[in-house]
Amino acid sequence: MQIHSNKALFVGNVPIDAKASCKAEKAVISHGHSDHVATNKVTQYICTPETETIIRSRYKKEPSFAPLKFGKKLSFGDSTISLYNSGHILGSAQVLVEGTKTVAVTNDFKVQDSIIQKGAKPLKCDILVLESTFGKPCYSFPKREEVYKQIGNFVKEKSKQGFVVLAGYSLGKAQELTKVVNEYTDLTPLVHDSVYDNNKVYEEHGTKLGDYIKLDHNLHDSNVLIMPPSLVNHNLLQVLEFSLRKKIFSGFATGWNFRNGFNEIFPLSDHADFQQLLDYTKQAEPKLVITMHGSERELASYIQRRLGIAARPLCEKGQKTISEYA
């Protein structure tokens, strides 16, 4: 069984998060973020029902889908695959491939429970393919409840002084912010239309977010607005200040410590931090770890030194098969 990256992450003959140019008969999509969704008209895509809904709603795409619920098994050539919650966003999945070896692919994941979603549970395996976005010791996130309180206090205090803009990725983070504003303040947030559409998908699949108002020339309906960070810049904040004749306060919920003109940065990430990566690995009990995405080399080195488990970054040349890693 080979593990390599070429137009997709291949575990044996199972392609995961394939590029559109990968014309495999079947492929797995781990979740609905745009950097993991690239479809064509040839491949049948295996994903959770929630991810299918997100793709149809968000990208207006109509590829062939084969929905697979968490924990259900599906034959895939000589292997069997199953999907398990990754805790990243609605419907996001870890992939377990069972063949000559049992291989677990975390994909983007977090182990902390959030206000709207359960965290990922470690999958026992021979080989662990581990996301390593925050794979350095400097990445250490506080408990989510502490961050929720910080956001709630910021919104309550600053909304009395002016108008608050909260930035969070429109799929995943913005739904969490919608729920936080409802639970930790007495305000009903305005939400950008992209956030509104994704909120509706979450609610369709049973996630209760509370009240919110779609932004539509109605800035005076609330003192807090949830926006995608790509749309929040100095010009927007100036326009809001001029239109509302109020002082504007801005906060960004992200795992990256980039202020970028925001008044506050809230350390809220949909990925596992360094210690969570180590804890997950220890509980999964793999014989080998392959790191991918982000701090691959650094995390592989830490896993070998701290846990005594063989580990290699996926990106290194010549390391393409499980036999070569062993």
Mean pLDDT lowest among 34-43, 86-95, 125-134, 297-306: 34-43
Residue whose C-alpha is closest to residue 1's, from 125, 97, 131: 97
Does residue 42 surpass a pLDDT of 60? yes
Taking phi first (over 0 means left), then psi (-120 to 50 degrees means alpha), and beta for anything else, what does residue 245 get?
left
- What confidence score (pLDDT) does residue 261 get? 86
Q: What's the pLDDT tens digit per position in 144-160?
A: 999 999 999 999 999 99
Tell me the three state secondary structure of residue 243.
helix
Distance between first and last Cα of the chain: 12
What integer is the mean pLDDT of 174-179?
Answer: 98
Tell me the three state secondary structure of residue 64.
strand
- What confidence score (pLDDT) does residue 316 get? 61
Strand partners, 85: 93
Rounded CA separation 2/147 (Å): 41
**What percentage of residues in the chain have a pLDDT greater than 70?**
97
Average pLDDT across the chain, whole number: 94
What integer is the mean pLDDT of 306-310?
Answer: 97
Record the pTM: 0.93
Residue whose C-alpha is closest to residue 11's, from 109, 81, 70: 81
Does residue 61 surpass a pLDDT of 90? no
Structural domains of the chain, ranges and CATH numbers in brackets? 3-139+271-325 (3.60.15.10), 144-266 (3.40.50.12650)
Does residue 32 surpass a pLDDT of 90? yes
Contact 199, 224 (CB under 8 A): no
Q: What's the pLDDT tens digit per position in 221-256?
A: 999 999 999 999 999 999 999 999 999 999 999 999
